[in-house]
Amino acid sequence: MKERVLIAGFATRHVAQSAFNAGFEVCTVDHFCDQDLSWFTKDREKFEDVADIPDAIGRICRRQKFDYFVPTSGAEMLPSTIERLGTEPGSVSRFMDKLDTQHFFESIDVPVPRILPDGEYPAMVKPRAGAGGWRNAVIDTGAAMAAWRERYEDIPHIRQEVVAGLPASVCCIATGSQAMAIASNEQVLRGGNGESAFGFSGSITPSSHPAHEEMQALAGWIAATSGCVGTIGIDFILGDNGPVAIEVNPRFQGTVDTVEMATGANLFSLHLGACQGMLPPEPPVASQVACRTILFADRDITVNEDLARFREFVADIPWPGTFFEEEQALVSVYGWGPDRGAALAMLDKHITTVRQYMR
């Protein structure tokens, strides 16, 4: 009989798919409940706001019994009576606060952007809580800083020096005392001038940056000293002076799909092993380059076409007739190939194909 796992968080499809492929029976609590999530799950519970997750978990637990609980983004701090596969809330908490994360990096002598005093610009301003780069902004003047604080009701935030370079990350697995870097990734950000300019919108695996090996070694050290368990992600900026650490994500990351496509590894199996204190003898080797981008609505739109026909290179597939407001995420699109150029060329071809059905 298959073991049953409950995966809960804002978006769970990538983790559910990996768990399904690892041989588990999967149920999820998810904000989107897209069409392809139903392909990998026995049962699902949808919620609107992150604050609604505990009630949604309660509802699905009244219908199903579970062997394991896996929290993803938005659910990391929730307690659970089900055996947790992942970092305990006590260890997660410091990585939910960007200032505490800064202090952690400093305590283990990891390069990190300098905290700026009030009045020094330009500054990378970030809410201390939150994920996905939402509300992060580069601010050049005192007037712009005052406007940012007013717009977001003076939420607790940090001000860091602006580090130029390539956004990147490393997927690691950790046992709480040991760790292994699994894959390096180039991160794709939204761009533009909105509050999601620094939001995650895709990845390329593996990273081809000259400093990627140095970054992976640093990530392994960070993961091993973090106290985290299972798969975690370390975000960096690859600048002129090498990798600079930005964040620790103590959960499955948005790079799961490209890591698995590039290496052939199953991250859920590696996650389970690490939670049980086991690391593989050596990390998986990438046999190809894989890339993913998230397409966002450029206007209010209803997607009436069934994009399931493109399941070979599309994920997070909406149900036909789903309405999206401008700027909402529509669908994920993939490309792959023997090198970065070939993978990106395939990605562009697939994006062109999909966009024909979003008019």
Phi and psi torsions of 238, nearest 5°: -95, 100
* Sequence spans of domains, the chain: 4-85, 97-160, 166-355
CATH architecture classification, 4-85: 3-Layer(aba) Sandwich (3.40)
CATH architecture classification, 166-355: 2-Layer Sandwich (3.30)
Confidence at residue 159, expressed as pLDDT on a 0 to 100 scale: 97
* 8 Å CB contact between 206 and 185: yes
Helix then strand then coil, % of the chain, to nearest 5: 30, 30, 40
Render pLDDT for 226-268 as a digit per residue (tens, 0 to 9). Answer: 999 999 999 999 998 999 999 999 999 999 999 999 999 999 9
Mean pLDDT of 301-316: 97
Burial class (CB in 10 A: 0-12, 13-18, 19+), 39: middle
Burial class (CB in 10 A: 0-12, 13-18, 19+), 153: exposed
Render pLDDT for 4-51 as a digit per residue (tens, 0 to 9). Answer: 999 999 999 999 999 999 999 999 999 999 999 999 999 999 999 999
- Mean of pLDDT over the chain: 96
Write down the pTM of the prediction.
0.96
DSSP 279: -
Confidence at residue 133, expressed as pLDDT on a 0 to 100 scale: 81
* pLDDT surpasses 90 at 350: yes
* Both structure tokens of 179: 């760790």
Q: Alpha-carbon distance 117 to 224, whole Å?
A: 31
